[in-house]
Amino acid sequence: MRTATEVDDYHVETWHELVGEYVRPMEPSPAPGQSFHAWMQVRRMGSIEVLEAGATPYVVHRSPTRECSPGQIFCSLQLSGPHLIAQDGQEILRRPGELAIFDPERPCTLVCREPVNFLAFVFPRQAVGSDLEALVKGAATVLPTGRGVGALLTSFLRQLAKQSGDVQSATAARLAGHTLDLLSTFFADLRGTEPGIEGAAQRSLILRIKAYIEENLTDPGLSPTTVAAAHHISVRYLQRLFEDQALTVSSWIRERRLEHARRDLVNPDQRGVPITVIADRWGFADSAHFSRVFKTAYGLSPRDCRHNEFTVSIDQ
């Protein structure tokens, strides 16, 4: 864990470097005519970076020319003070207790006109499935958390941030997996209640199909044909159900298999398990094919993914 203690207006560059390292490359500056004070704590839990931060009024810009790590999503829970996020021509005002999602790879502006405190969780976008893509559509989005899964999620995230410094690395990796599962469930729940999906029966069927796929990912015979047969529908109707899901059935299966393989690769308990065994476990009999699709999804090879994760754990 690294911690940034209070930073005054003569050391804005220090805050700049910290924000650039952990929140992807951005350019913060204090509000005009005001001194600047800020703090930030960063912990890594498996594939998730957990940040807790606070600052006096400031503005952060991210230009489209700045490079950053690909495939990351920024999920932020506001603890105090309003926070304006402008991205892709849209502006959202995040208030205390609200959960916001935005893509740090895209140009954006963050404006805090009052002192703020927030929690943030940075994770691979592929780790939570395509429901997120359909909900966010590229722009910053505030998601409802007043009740149901959303209320459960925000409560869990608050406790996770409080306790994240007191767990062993192997436990942290498992907690990260559970966190990503809960986020996936939240996004799927929101996606399933969108008005664009016709009828409660269809929404319920889609959720059952996704649950069936998740439970059978290790079956090498899992395919649109077997999924359709298990739910007594035709393959054509199954494909039609997934037309609004941002991915085809086959792509959804591949995405979920890749994510489970990635979690195994970064799990300290499975450090000695060969990559080929992990690939085969999740339905990838051809290791070369697995390496290609993994790199396409996550931007690095399975070997590099495992090496980078364990290097970070050792450095901490």
Domain boundary among 163, 191, 219: 191
Copy the structure tokens of residue 115: 């002192």
174 and 201 assigned to the same domain = no
152 and 225 assigned to the same domain = no
131 and 226 assigned to the same domain = no
100 and 234 assigned to the same domain = no
Q: Does position 316 have pLDDT exceeding 50, yes or no?
A: no
Q: How many domains does the chain have?
A: 2
Q: Does position 5 have pLDDT exceeding 60, yes or no?
A: no
218 and 184 assigned to the same domain = no
Q: Does position 57 have pLDDT exceeding 80, yes or no?
A: yes
Query: How does residue 302 score in pLDDT terms, banded at 50, 70 and 90?
Result: very high
181 and 89 assigned to the same domain = yes
136 and 55 assigned to the same domain = yes
197-201, 221-225, 302-306: the lowest-pLDDT one = 197-201
User: Residue 286 is part of which domain span?
Assistant: 195-315
149 and 58 assigned to the same domain = yes
Task: Describe the strand order of the beta sheet including 99-102 as a list of residue ranges.
Answer: 2-7, 38-45, 48-55, 116-124, 72-80, 99-102, 141-143
Domain boundary among 169, 191, 213: 191
179 and 199 assigned to the same domain = no
Domain boundary among 136, 171, 191: 191
Average pLDDT, the chain: 78
Q: Which residues, 6+ apart, have CB-to-CB distance to 164 below 8 Å? A: 43, 45, 50, 172, 175
Q: Are 135 and 99 in contact (CB under 8 A)?
A: no
- Residues paired with residue 54 on neighbouring β-strands, in sequence order: 39, 117
For residue 309, give the CATH number of its domain.
1.10.10.60
